[in-house]
Amino acid sequence: KIETLKVTVDFLKVPLGLKKPPLKEALAAVPGPGRSKPLGLERHKSRRSDNMDNESQYSGYSYKSGHSRSSRKHRDRRDRHRSKSRDGSRGDKSVTIQAPGEPLLDNESTRGDERDDNWGETTTVVTGTSEHSISHDDITRITKDMEDSAHLDCSRHLGVALGVALALLAFLTPLAFMLLPQLLWREELEPCGTPCEGLFISVAFKLLILLLGGWALFFRRPKAFFPRVFVFRALLMVLVFLLVVSYWLFYGVRILDSRDRNYQGVVQYAVSLVDALLFVHYLAVVLLELRQLQPQFTLKAVRSADGASRFYNVGHLSIQRAAVWILENYYHDFPVYNPALLNLPKSVLSKKMSGFKVYSLGEENSTNNSTGQSRAVIAAAARRRDNSHNEYYYEEAEHERRVRKRRARLVVAVEEAFTHIKRLQEEDQKNPREIMDPREAAQAIFASMARAMQKYLRTTKQQPYHTMESILQHLEFCITHDMTPKVRGAFLERYLTAGPTIQYHKDRWLAKQWTLVSEEPVTNGLKDGVVFVLKRQDFSLVVSTKKIPFFKLSEEFVDPKSHKFIMRLQSETSV
353 binds other proteins (CB under 8 A): no
Residue 533 has φ and ψ, to the nearest 5°, of -125, 135
- 93 membership: H or E segment, kind and range: strand 93-96
Residue 420: exposed, middle, or buried by beta-carbon count in 10 A (0-12, 13-18, 19+)?
middle
574 binds other proteins (CB under 8 A): yes
User: From the CB of 558, what's the least distance to other proteins, in Å?
Assistant: 25
Task: Mark residues 514-553: x for contact with other proteins by CB under 8 A, - for none.
Answer: ----------------------------------------
575 binds other proteins (CB under 8 A): yes
What is the spatial distance between Cα 54 and Cα 48, in angstroms, rounded to a whole number? 11
Residues 414-473 that bind other proteins (CB under 8 A): none
User: From the CB of 484, what's the least distance to other proteins, in Å?
Assistant: 58
What is the spatial distance between Cα 461 and Cα 467, in angstroms, rounded to a whole number? 13
572 binds other proteins (CB under 8 A): yes
565 binds other proteins (CB under 8 A): no
Residues 286-315 that bind other proteins (CB under 8 A): none
Question: By C-beta, is 85 or 570 nearer to other proteins?
Answer: 570
Q: Which residue stretch of 230-238, 253-261, 475-483, 563-571 sits at the interface with other proteins (rule: CB under 8 A)?
A: 563-571
What is the spatial distance between Cα 53 and Cα 49, in angstroms, rounded to a whole number? 6
Residue 411: exposed, middle, or buried by beta-carbon count in 10 A (0-12, 13-18, 19+)?
middle
Residue 247 has φ and ψ, to the nearest 5°, of -65, -40
CA 171 to each of CA 156, 270, 274, 282, 285: distance values in angstroms, whole numbers, following the listed order = 23, 11, 8, 16, 18
81 binds other proteins (CB under 8 A): no
User: From the CB of 562, what's the least distance to other proteins, in Å?
Assistant: 21
Question: By C-beta, is 183 or 575 nearer to other proteins?
Answer: 575
DSSP characters over 399-460: HHHHHHHHHHHHHHHHHHHHTT--PPPTT----GGG---HHHHHHHHHHHHHHHHHHHHHHT
> Cα 85 to the chain's mean position, in Å?
33
570 binds other proteins (CB under 8 A): yes
User: From the CB of 567, what's the least distance to other proteins, in Å?
Assistant: 9
382 binds other proteins (CB under 8 A): no
Query: Both ends of the chain: CA-CA distance in Å?
Result: 87
Listed in sequence order, the residues at least 6 apart from 243 whose beta carbon sits closer than 8 Å to its beta carbon are: 170, 273, 276, 277, 280
Q: Which residue stretch of 163-171, 288-296, 524-532, 565-573 sits at the interface with other proteins (rule: CB under 8 A)?
A: 565-573
User: From the CB of 575, what's the least distance to other proteins, in Å?
Assistant: 5
Contact present, 158 and 77 (Cβ < 8 Å)? no
568 binds other proteins (CB under 8 A): yes
User: From the CB of 346, what's the least distance to other proteins, in Å?
Assistant: 47
Q: Which residue stretch of 76-84, 134-142, 187-195, 562-570 sits at the interface with other proteins (rule: CB under 8 A)?
A: 562-570
Question: By C-beta, is 562 or 574 nearer to other proteins?
Answer: 574
Question: By C-beta, is 353 or 566 nearer to other proteins?
Answer: 566
Q: How many residues bind other proteins (CB under 8 A)?
A: 8
Q: Mind spelling out the 3-state secondary structure of 253-291?
A: HHHHCCCCCCHHHHHHHHHHHHHHHHHHHHHHHHHHHHC
Q: Which of 446, 470, 485, 462 is nearest to 406 (CA)?
A: 462
User: From the CB of 414, what's the least distance to other proteins, in Å?
Assistant: 59
Contact present, 463 and 450 (Cβ < 8 Å)? no
Q: Which of 46, 354, 431, 571 binds other proteins (CB under 8 A)?
A: 571
Question: By C-beta, is 382 or 569 nearer to other proteins?
Answer: 569
User: From the CB of 574, what's the least distance to other proteins, in Å?
Assistant: 4
Binding residues for other proteins, per CB under 8 A? 568-575
